[in-house]
Structure 1
């Protein structure tokens, strides 16, 4: 009899497809529907965006992406109301992100 040493036993690690499938199922269960904003909420977001661009104040930005509501902190650099886009500079990595205005859920000053 030969000694094999200490080896970690993982009985289900032989099927990596199973882990991928389970992860997808869990992610689908966590997804939420995109909130529908009222006209008043959209108007308030518009005013806050305009003020944030002109005063260069830091904002909390909540947006909807791939079934999740994400909140980030940063600065609004540019708003294109005709193209329905805006440019957001992330506070952590200082990356420029182009986003659509219809993805926005909430904008508040820090």
Structure 2
């Protein structure tokens, strides 16, 4: 007699397409709407961005992308308020990221 060992039971794994569909449904449930900022909040973020740019301090950036609010730590390299974009270098991979100012939710000095 041979022991079969422990078998894992996966009742809903019979069709691989189910995983794709379930993953899409779960991701849609986790999505949030982009927060609407007041004029005062946008002005405060602008001052913080300019201060971080001139003093070369790190900041925590919270931005909205594909239904999620993402927070990263990095250095501000360039701000163009007329062109509605800024460039920051993230702390982890040290990559330059161009981003629209309209995607920005919050900026805090580290």
Q: Judge same fold: TM > 0.5, yes or no.
A: yes
Root-mean-square deviation (CA, aligned residues, Å) is 1.7
Match of 2:49 in 1: 49
* Residue in 2 that maps onto 1:25: 25
Alignment of 1:58-73 (within 5 A): 58-73=58-73
For structure 1, the residue ranges without an aligned partner over 5 or more in a row are none
1:87-108 alpha-carbon deviations (Å, 9 max, x no partner): 0100011111110000000000
Q: Alignment partner of 2:99: what SS?
A: strand
1:58-97 matches, cutoff 5 A: 58-97=58-97
Cα shift at 1:46 = 0.5
| Partner residue, 1:106 | 106
Runs of 4+ in 1 over 2 A off after TM superposition: 3-14
Please list the CA deviations of residues 17-72 of structure 1 after superposition, one character each: whole Å capped at 9, or x if unmatched.
10110011011011110000000000000000111111110000000001111111
Provide TM-score, normalisation by structure 1.
0.90
The runs of 5 or more residues in structure 2 that have no matched partner are none
